[in-house]
Amino acid sequence: MAIPHKLNVIWCRTFQGVLKVGNYFMGYRMPDYMEGNGRIKELGAFLKDKGINDVLVVTGAGMVKRGQVQPMLDGFDANGIRYTLQTYTTTDPTSDDVEAGYRAYKENGCKAIVALGGGSRIDCAKGIAAKAVHPKKTVAQLQGLLKVHWKIPPFVAIPTTAGAGSETTVAAVITDSKTHRKAAINDPFLIPKYAVLDPELTTGLSPYTTATTGMDALAHAVEAYTNKTYNTKLEDRLAREAVKLIHDNILIAFEDGGNLEARQNMQRGAFYAGRAFTRGCVGYVHAIGHTLGGLYGVAHGLAMAVLLPHVMEAYGAAAQKRLAELADICGIKGSTDAEKAKGFIDWIKETNAKMGLPDKFDVIKDEDIDQMISWADKEANPLYPVPVIWSREDFRTLIETIRS
């Protein structure tokens, strides 16, 4: 029998209250990082200095073909770093991808992992790292909260997009190869030890990818900030700074892909947003977005771009004060919190439109909606401290809102 919604709200808020206290013992941190043009070339010397050898490099096959990985590998060769190259062509990491990567890690005697790519490649590498300390467990058994609970091998994350923020998060989102369900491995031990923010790696991104990854980063920051419950002053500050950086730079990066200053600011914004939601959590934007990716292959960033304004509107008054604060930071005017919140949401919609992104989806099938609701509800509740706890009907209403 289904739990009455009021009781479910009490259960969720009670769980979140306990976890708020528990978060102080989780050991959250930011990776040590270096940033700047061409810093990827220096990684070999950096690893040598740290005594790190026998590295598994997780990256995209296309990046290798285009020569984007070679400057790093040349640095490895120059510094005597042994490496095994594990490449992928899949858009989102699957459990089969993780298993293949772990086999390569084990068979080649690797002792460390370097992930070079977007959020998907970094998440895949995190899954491999989790398997490295739990070789007998499946990916499905590792998905959930605090199931790694063991120090992973030395891990370096090098983002080639400014979006996922995986280089500083606890999460690795993996799609089950059989069921197509997306779910996250969430554990502070998955936070990379080191990160490299090199804007030159992002200059080759298409305007479309720049747009969708940038909106992904914005969704991280906005959801973390409107969630509020788990945040310390640090997460609130990082979320605000991320929103400001993205607000001021996303259209510049979209229109002029070679603008290294805008690219660097977008990378920093994604990094800050990733750290903000590492503790603050995401919300229903992500919970529903993951179902769209799992069922229909909708790119994660595109799902975030479309869902973000709709979900923020659906929260209503519960999110208006925090959205108004973000509007103030971005210079969006209004005489009341409600007006400022509307202005901020309108800015998201207008930015999407300027970048040619849709405001709805035409792929959602009637017969899949109940499954989407179940998956989203299971992912989000009771963990995500969203402004409003939704019932199944609330999820259904939102899903109908984004259908075209």
106-141 residue pLDDT tens: 999 999 999 999 989 999 999 999 999 999 999 999
**Co-location of 215 and 276 in the same domain:** yes
Flag whether pLDDT at 293 surpasses 60. Answer: yes
Range of the domain at 289: 5-25+205-401
Considering the domain architecture, whether residues 165 and 186 belong to the same structural domain is answered as yes
Give the model confidence (pLDDT) of 305-343 as tens digits. 999 999 999 999 999 999 999 999 999 999 999 999 999
Q: Average pLDDT in the 98-108 region?
A: 97
What pLDDT score does 204 carry? 87
Q: Are residues 195 and 242 in the same domain?
A: no
pLDDT digits (tens, 9 = 90+) for 149-207: 899 999 999 999 999 899 999 989 899 998 888 888 999 999 999 999 999 999 989 99
Instruction: Write the CA distances from 195 to 41, 114, 151, integer angstroms.
Output: 13, 10, 17
On the question of pLDDT at 90 being above 90, the answer is no
pLDDT above 80 (res 373): yes
Please determine, for residue 26, whether its predicted confidence score (pLDDT) is greater than 90: no
Out of 173, 202, 231, a domain closes at 202
pLDDT at 180: 86
> 156: domain CATH number?
3.40.50.1970
- Note the pLDDT tens digit of each residue in 207-218: 999 999 999 999
- Length of the chain equals 404
Q: Is the pLDDT of residue 263 over 60?
A: yes
Kindly state whether residues 268 and 334 are assigned to the same domain: yes
**Domain check: are 17 and 75 in the same one?**
no
At residue 386 the predicted structure's pLDDT band, cuts being 50, 70 and 90, is very high
What is the rounded CA–CA span in Å between residue 368 and residue 228? 32
The reported pLDDT for the residue numbered 183 is 85
Q: In this structure, are 11 and 51 located in the same domain?
A: no
Which residues make beta-bridge pairs with 60? 88
301 and 193, same domain (yes or no): no
For the chain, what is the domain count?
Answer: 2
Give the model's pLDDT for residue 291: 95
Q: What is residue 175's three-state secondary structure?
A: strand
State the pLDDT confidence band at 1, using cuts at 50, 70 and 90. low
Q: Are 241 and 389 within one domain? A: yes
The CATH number given to whatever domain includes residue 298 is 1.20.1090.10
What average pLDDT does the chain have?
Answer: 95
- Whole-Å CA distances, 303 to 216, 254, 260, 284, 343: 8, 18, 26, 12, 21
Q: Do residues 263 and 159 both lie within one domain?
A: no
Measuring CA to CA, how many Å separate 201 from each of 72, 138, 325?
11, 33, 33
User: Over the stretch 228-260, which tens digit does the pLDDT of each residue have?
Assistant: 999 999 999 999 999 999 999 999 999 999 999
Whether residue 2 has pLDDT greater than 80? no
Q: Residue 116: beta bridge partners?
A: 158
Per-residue pLDDT of 36-84, as tens digits, reads: 999 999 999 999 999 999 999 999 999 999 999 999 999 999 999 999 9
Which pTM does this prediction carry?
Answer: 0.91
Domain-ending residue, one of 202, 235, 256: 202
CB-based contacts of 30, cutoff 8 Å, min separation 6? 168, 191, 275
Joined together, the tokens standing for residue 98 give: 């993780």
Of the residues 180, 202, 224, the one at which a domain ends: 202
Looking at the fold, whether 174 and 216 belong to one and the same domain comes out as no
- Please tell me whether residues 223 and 186 are part of one structural domain: no
- For the chain, give the percent of residues with pLDDT over 70: 100
Give yes or no: residues 213 and 71 share one domain. Answer: no
Angle of helix 337-354 versus helix 300-315 axis, rounded to 10: 160
